[in-house]
Amino acid sequence: EVMEVMSRFAVIERASIDEAYLDLTQAVQERLKKMKGQHIPVEQLGTTYIQGFPNNLEEEENTDNKEEMRQRGVCQWLTSLPFGDPSNPELQLTVGAAIMEEMRAAVESVTGFQCSVGISHNKVLLLVF
């Protein structure tokens, strides 16, 4: 049932009983065409964490609130993206993250199950991380 919901968003390669790889390439390219250079609202990344962000140690010292830190990191990341360049790998990853937010919400809504997601430029990098 979970795999069925996930298949609405991307091509799936089942890795085990509870793991799968999703190829978001086509979905990301289609989404970027529809966006036409528009920015991704921070609200579309409501559970996304960006590794290494915020990248300002001073910002990290100003709060103990993990959610506030996550939001700062996402905002900092989004302001660094070249939204007019659909070939930019970081922008592509960010669009992939937005699609995964939608997929996770759909999985929970349809099945009642929660799932976690990690994204990378390719499967090899994902396996290393």
Catalytic residue ranges: 19
| CA dist 65 → 43, 44, 61, 93 (Å) | 18, 20, 10, 26
Pick the closest to residue 42 from 10, 67, 8 (CA basis).
67
Residue 121 · residue 19 · CB < 8 Å = no
